[in-house]
Amino acid sequence: MLPKYNRVLLKLSGESLMGDRNYGIDPKMLEQYAYDIKAINDLGVQVAVVIGGGNIYRGMNEMETGIERAQGDYMGMLATVINGMALQAALEKIGVKTRLQSAIKMEQVAEPYIRRRAMRHLEKGRVVIFGAGTGNPYFTTDTAGSLRAIEINADVILKGTRVDGIYTADPEKDLTATRFDKLSFTEVISKGLKVMDMTAFTLCQENNLPIIVFDMNTTGNLLNVISGKAVGTLVSNH
Q: What secondary structure letter does DSSP report for 113?
A: P
**Residue 63's pLDDT band (boundaries 50, 70, 90)?**
confident
Q: What mean pLDDT comes out for the span 118-124?
A: 98
pLDDT given at position 61: 67
Q: Is the pLDDT assigned to residue 66 strictly greater than 90?
A: no
Strand-pair category, 182-184 with 7-12: unpaired
| pLDDT, tens digit (0-9, with 9 covering 90-100), for 157-173 | 999 998 899 999 888 88
Instruction: Give the chain's mean pLDDT.
Output: 94
pLDDT band for position 175 (cuts 50, 70, 90)? confident
Give the C-alpha separation, 48 to 167, whole Å: 26
Q: Mark 51-79 as b/e (b = at least 16 C-beta within 10 Å).
A: bbbbbbbebeeeeeeeeeeeebbbbbbbb
Domains delineated in the chain = 7-236 (3.40.1160.10)
Could you give the CA distance from residue 214 to residue 10 in angstroms, rounded to a whole number? 11
Q: For residues 93 and 78, what is the distance between their CA atoms, to the nearest angstrom?
A: 23
> How many C-beta atoms surround the C-beta of residue 174 within 10 A?
11
Q: Which residue has the higher pLDDT, 225 or 63?
A: 225
3-state secondary structure of 93: helix
For residue 226, pLDDT beyond 70: yes
pLDDT at 1 over 90: no
What angle is formed at CA 214 by the lines to CA 209 and CA 215, rounded to 5 degrees? 155
Residue 60 has pLDDT above 80, yes or no: no
pTM for this model (two decimals) = 0.95
